[in-house]
Amino acid sequence: MTPRWLDTQTALKPWSSCLPTRKLQPLPIPEERWDAISIDFILELPELGGYNSVMVAVDSVGKCSHFIEMVTTVTATGAANLYLWNVWKLHSLSRKVVSNRRPQFVAAFMKELY
């Protein structure tokens, strides 16, 4: 009888080119608060006051967070403006941003900030 792990390897062989070829590396630990943040989006919530989504900005050091109401159709420019109006005025401009969006979104977000 063939071991179960061998069957899994055989089943995944056609998709082996899609699998990552290098190991994931941990993010460096930031030295100051709000120097590195993560931006995530909670989408398609029930509409309240004209808003149906939430942008969540979390500090990587202190784990302090801001929940910013928004609409689903916001662009990277709009998200950057929301960040400036709601987070930057209280803390500082972050140097590193990690997001659950595509790299193009993060690049446009950072370009708008700087």
| pLDDT digits 0-9 by tens, 21-75 | 677 778 778 888 888 889 999 998 999 999 999 999 999 888 899 999 999 999 9
Residue 33: both structure tokens together: 């608060």
| pLDDT at residue 49 in the model | 92
Using only the alpha carbons of the chain, give its radius of gyration.
Answer: 19
From CA 76, how far away is CA 54, in angstroms rounded? 14
Residue 100 — very low, low, confident or very high, per pLDDT cuts 50/70/90?
confident
3-state secondary structure 86-100: HHHCCCCCCCEEEEC
Specify the fold of 32-113. Nucleotidyltransferase; domain 5 (3.30.420)
Q: Which helix (H) or strand (E) holds 59?
A: strand 53-59
Stated pTM of the model = 0.71
